[in-house]
Structure 1
C-alpha cells in the first residue's frame, strides 16, 4: 500500500550518467582491458568501513613512480568520498594497474601546491613484497 504523502524522486540524470561511466571502467578492468587506460586510471579494491563489503573504485592517477612502486591519487570529493574514508579505516588494500594487481598500503601525506584543497592518497607497494604482483581479491558471492 502506497502512502500519498510520500514523494518519490527520480535520481538526477547527471548522477545516473556518472554511475554508468564508473561501472563501465570497472567492467573494462574486470574484462582484462585495464591497459586501455594507458596508466592514467587504476582500480582500487577496498572494503566498506561499516558494511565490510568489497568495493571497486576507478581513480585517476596523478603521479606514478615505477622505481619505488607508488601511485598518488587525489580525492576530488575531499574527505567525504567513501573510498577515502574506507582507506582511512583500513589502509592495506589491493589495486589493479593495467592487468596487474598490487598489494599496497595507503599513506595520507599533504599535497603539493597544485592540489592544496584536495586530500592526496599515496599508495605504496607493501614493504614485504616490493613490486610483487598479487592475486586479485575474491569477488563478492564467490
Structure 2
C-alpha cells in the first residue's frame, strides 16, 4: 500500500455539488439514491444546531441492523467531530429512517472491515481507498492496512 496525498474537503462549486444530495432528501427524493448512501442529521458540537450530510455506506450490517460509513477526509470532518461530541443522530437510507448511536471504530475493527469489503467489492474498495489517499494493489493485506488508517463510524439504531 502506498499513501497518496490526502484529499481535502471540497470548497466552492465542488462543495455545492457534494451537498446537492441533501436537497434531494429535503424534497423527500432521497430514496432515488438507493441504499448506497445515507442522510445523517446530527448536532453541531459548538452551535448545538442540527446539521446534515449525505455519506456513502461502506457496510450495512444486517445482523446488527446498522450502517458503517468512512470519514473520507479524516477526523477533521465536521460530521465526524460532531458525532464524537454528540453520538446520538438520525439517519435515512432508502425509505428507512432511524435514530442511531454512533460508535467510532478502532484501527483493528477498521482493518477487518476494509479487508472484508475489499473481498466483496474489489473495484469499489480500490476506488474508496484512492479517494481517501491510499493506493492499494487489491490484496487483503493492503485493504486491511488501509482500513487501519481510515476512520470508520458504525451507526446503530436505537432500540
User: Shorter-chain-normalised TM-score: which range?
Assistant: 0.7 to 0.9
Of the two structures, which has the highest relative contact order with CA contacts closer than 8 Å and spacing of 6 or more?
2
CA distance in 2 between counterparts of 1:79 and 1:96 reads 23
TM-score under structure 1 length normalisation:
0.74
Farther off after superposition, 94-103 or 39-48: 94-103
CA distance in 1 between counterparts of 2:105 and 2:37 reads 20
Counterpart contact for 1:29–1:99, Cα < 8 Å: no
The match for 1:119 is: 151
Does residue 33 of the first structure (1) align with residue 29 of the second (2)? yes
The match for 2:125 is: none
- Aligned-pair Cα RMSD in Å: 1.4
SS in 2 for 1:52: coil
Give 1:50's match in structure 2, choosing from 11, 32, 46: 46
More helix by share: 2
The match for 1:74 is: 70
CA distance in 2 between counterparts of 1:56 and 1:89 reads 15
| Deviation per residue, 1:61-98 (Å, 9 max, x gap) | 00002332110000011111110000000101111111
* Aligned residues between the structures: 114
Deviation of the 1:31 alpha carbon: 1.3
Runs (4+) of structure 1 exceeding 4 A deviation are none
TM-score under structure 2 length normalisation:
0.67
CA distance in 2 between counterparts of 1:84 and 1:65 reads 20
Note the 1:1-142 alignment, pairs <5 A.
15-110=11-106, 111-112=110-111, 113=144, 114-126=146-158, 129=159
Larger radius of gyration: 1
SS in 1 for 2:48: coil
Unaligned runs of 5+ in 1: 1-13, 130-142
